[in-house]
Amino acid sequence: MIIVVASGKGGTGKTTVATSLALTLMQLAREGLLGGTKVKFGDCDVEEPNAALFLKPRLSQREEVSLPIPRVDPALCTYCGRCAQVCQYHAIAVVAKKVLVFPELCHGCGSCTLECPEGAIQEVPHVIGIVEKGRVGSMAFAHGLLDIGAPAAPPIIRRVKSWLIADEKDPVVILDAPPGTSCPVVQSLRGADYALMVTEPTPFGLHDLALAVEVARGELSLPVGVVINRDGIGDQGVDDYCRAERIPILMRIPMDRRIAEAYSRGEPLVTALPEYRGRFVALYEAICEEVSP
Amino acid sequence: MKQLVILSGKGGTGKTSIAACFAHLASAERRIVLADADVDAANLELVLSPRKVEQHRFVSGKEAVIDGALCIACGRCAEVCRFGAIAARDGVYTVDPIACEGCASCYYQCPAEAIALQDRRSGLWFRSETRFGMLFHAHLFAGQENSGKLVTMVKQQATLWGVEHGADYVIVDGPPGIGCPVIAACSGADLALLVVEPTISGVHDLERILATTRHFRVPAAVVVNKHDINPDRTAEIAHYCAKETVPLVGRIPFDTAVTEAMVHGEPITAYDATRAVSQDLKRTWRALRDTLEAR
């Protein structure tokens, strides 16, 4: 089962919920209460990955992620301009007797390579970031890191996910998604079994929650549940919305300065306040119930 | 005309709340134009209660569509697609519009010319009046790509309007992260204000967003929001800024009245000007304005 923790708005507590849920499940697995199911964690916020600051994994593998970008052989090129004509991203241009490639615009689709009538284009890897893999206790961990100045996060997110999900039969995978509602979020949510939305009960939180639900439930047809964080601040908007949209509120975490302080130190919620463990067990049970009632 | 962009790396550090306060404070002394560059999750409008004056469709990129009547089910399209967007079910090939990146590889490779490229309606952008000045903002449709292009569009429109109407400042509320929409938001800015919270992730993300603004040669300044949540980390940020020679232009205290003001659709500086948090925001704005003017 793949559970993606998303939110729309940034800073609502995705990482807090994802890390504590994962640590709780890891402990359940250790106690033999998960029936042999493995627990895995992936940080899909490759622009600003923070889960490792809380989980402190021992990283053992590292791999570069690259896109295949065109390299033109000047000996074969006739400067016909076909490559520039077919490229939808303006990533390749033919200027007089020169072909210019703009790696930061290239999606690595390979269309120019296929279309070149002279077979003058070869593809070479262009590194856009890295993925790292390791362990947190008995839990597999992976995250990615987009290079500074590189625009495209989705290929790295794809790699984080394939790295975690490929080798095992039906583990529980917790994925921490980036904020927003565009392609990096879609890439994180694709193939998931459940979208857990962490929000705060404010107009900003509600506005962005509704957009994120539109992506997860509307576009990807995923079941969705909500965690209200910093419960008690703001207003009733999120409660009213969830009732109207028939979205279950699976957990409420009150506004508590101790939680904010533990976060600022890099301490997971269930480590700082162990009394939350039972509530994360209940959260997991509620999600299982939602996925297969 | 100077352009200020407000960024953070990490989401939810208070970019929009601070941008709204600056809009309030700046508009009292100068002519400003506002741009909400967080097109994924645009929130500035929630505090500024804008009145929409113009609405435009944003069409960006293409998506492939297979004509079932012409398709000979050879599978070439699925073979060349590198985004896993084409699959056959019961021998019928279809495109998953969410996975399709509009590269047109399949369109050119299809031997039966059964594939068409259609425009992707990616979102809307608006020009709206607010009590602090004109606001340019947008709504990217759920799950769409090209948020960077929509950010560029919003900023371009705001800048054009600003030049035409003699604005002194363009204030841009940026998106979180360091990827394409952030790069688009940074582009052409005179100064980037980096909003950071004194948390372990805030400090980590500050380093990455500062590296990004430097990569694109945009000068930066830092403000610490909710500085009193962790005084040690605030000191660490101050030390880091000094070491990196980035001006630290303000420290804003944690105050639940900021959320209360948001619920009432007001920036805190307008909602309760006498509070300490409002006074600190005012001081921060003045320091920032002086830094901006010095550029």
* pLDDT, tens digit (0-9, with 9 covering 90-100), for A53-72: 999 999 999 999 999 999 99
- In this predicted structure, the answer to whether residue B153 has a pLDDT above a threshold of 90 is yes
Interface contact B234, partner A, CB < 8 A = no
- Residue A106's pLDDT is what? 94
The mean pLDDT of chain A is 95
The burial class, CB within 10 Å (0-12 / 13-18 / 19+), for B55 is exposed
Find out whether A62 and A136 touch, Cβ atoms under 8 Å: no
Give CA–CA dist A152/A47, Å, rounded: 9
Calculate the alpha carbon distances from B63 to A190, A278, B69, B119 in Å.
Answer: 18, 47, 19, 7
- In this predicted structure, the answer to whether residue B61 has a pLDDT above a threshold of 90 is no
Positions of E strands within chain A: 2-6, 39-43, 58-72, 92-95, 98-101, 121-136, 139-146, 172-176, 194-199, 224-231, 249-254
Mean pLDDT of B127-154: 91
Find out whether A198 and A13 touch, Cβ atoms under 8 Å: yes
Mean pLDDT of A256-260: 91
Strand partners, A194: A3
Which residue of chain B has the CA closest to A8? B41
Give CA–CA dist B7/B185, Å, rounded: 9
Cβ-based contacts of B258 with chain A (< 8 Å):
none
Cβ-based contacts of A265 with chain B (< 8 Å):
200, 230
CB-based contact A48 B180, cutoff 8 Å? no
- In this predicted structure, the answer to whether residue A169 has a pLDDT above a threshold of 80 is no
Give CA–CA dist B24/B18, Å, rounded: 10
Of chain A, the percentage scoring pLDDT greater than 70 comes to 99
CB-based contact A153 B216, cutoff 8 Å? no
- In this predicted structure, the answer to whether residue A167 has a pLDDT above a threshold of 70 is no
Is pLDDT larger for residue B142 or for residue B38? B38
- Residue A170's pLDDT is what? 81
- Residue A35's pLDDT is what? 86
Residue in B181, B204, B263 nearest the CB of A50: B204
- In this predicted structure, the answer to whether residue B164 has a pLDDT above a threshold of 90 is yes
The alpha carbon torsion through A237, A243, A245, A250 (nearest 10 deg) reads: 90
ipTM for the complex shown: 0.90
CB-based contact A107 B103, cutoff 8 Å? yes
Cβ-based contacts of A215 with chain B (< 8 Å):
142-143
Amino acid occupying residue A252? R
Mean pLDDT of B99-113: 96
CB-based contact A151 B179, cutoff 8 Å? yes
CB-based contact B103 A88, cutoff 8 Å? yes
Residues A12-24 have pLDDT tens digits of 999 999 999 999 9
Interface contact B10, partner A, CB < 8 A = yes
Angle, vertex CA A134, rays to CA A129 and CA A136, nearest 5: 130
Residue in B148, B201, B259 nearest the CB of A53: B201
The burial class, CB within 10 Å (0-12 / 13-18 / 19+), for A191 is middle
CB-based contact B10 A109, cutoff 8 Å? no
Residue in B61, B109, B147 nearest the CB of A182: B147
Cβ-based contacts of A153 with chain B (< 8 Å):
177, 179
Cβ neighbors of B137 (< 8 A, separation 6 or more) are B35, B36, B39, B42, B44, B45, B50, B125, B126, B128, B154
- Residue A168's pLDDT is what? 65
Strand partners, A101: A92
Q: From the CA of A35, how many Å to the nearest CA of chain B?
A: 34
- What is the 3-state secondary structure of chain B? CEEEEEECCCCCCCHHHHHHHHHHHHHCCCCEEEEECCCCCCCHHHHHCCEEEEEEEEEEEEEEEECCCCCCCCCHHHHHCCCCCEEEECCEEEECCCCCCCCCHHHHHCCCCCEEEEEEEEEEEEEEEECCEEEEEEEECCCCCCHHHHHHHHHHHHHHHHHHCCCCEEEEECCCCCCHHHHHHHCCCCEEEEEECCCHHHHHHHHHHHHHHHHCCCCEEEEEECHHHCHHHHHHHHHHHHHCCCCEEEEECCCCHHHHHHHCCCCHHHHCCCCHHHHHHHHHHHHHHHHHHHC
CB-based contact B259 A233, cutoff 8 Å? yes
- A–B: how many Cβ contacts below 8 A? 196
CB-based contact A182 B140, cutoff 8 Å? yes
Amino acid occupying residue A42? G
In this prediction, residue A273 has a pLDDT band, given cuts at 50, 70 and 90, of very high
CB-based contact A50 B201, cutoff 8 Å? yes
In this prediction, residue A36 has a pLDDT band, given cuts at 50, 70 and 90, of confident
Interface contact B11, partner A, CB < 8 A = yes
pTM, two decimals, is 0.93
- In this predicted structure, the answer to whether residue A90 has a pLDDT above a threshold of 90 is yes
Cβ-based contacts of A233 with chain B (< 8 Å):
256, 259
Find out whether B177 and A178 touch, Cβ atoms under 8 Å: yes
Q: From the CA of B43, how many Å to the nearest CA of chain A?
A: 6
CB-based contact B108 A11, cutoff 8 Å? no
Cβ-based contacts of B103 with chain A (< 8 Å):
88-89, 107, 109, 111
The burial class, CB within 10 Å (0-12 / 13-18 / 19+), for B161 is middle
Domains of chain A: 2-65+129-291 (3.40.50.300), 74-119 (3.30.70.20)
Within 13 Å and on the Cβ side, how many CA atoms surround B63? 17
Mean pLDDT of A151-171: 87
Domains of chain B: 2-49+131-294 (3.40.50.300), 61-121 (3.30.70.20)
Q: What is the CA radius of gyration of chain A?
A: 22
Q: What is the CA radius of gyration of chain B?
A: 22
Cβ-based contacts of A150 with chain B (< 8 Å):
179
**CA A234 to centroid of chain Cα atoms:** 27
Which residue of chain B has the CA closest to A187? B99
Residue in B11, B62, B259 nearest the CB of A10: B11
- In this predicted structure, the answer to whether residue A239 has a pLDDT above a threshold of 70 is yes
In this prediction, residue A139 has a pLDDT band, given cuts at 50, 70 and 90, of very high
CB-based contact A151 B148, cutoff 8 Å? yes
- Residue A123's pLDDT is what? 97
In this prediction, residue B124 has a pLDDT band, given cuts at 50, 70 and 90, of very high
> Left if phi > 0, otherwise alpha if psi is -120 to 50, otherwise beta: which for B247?
beta
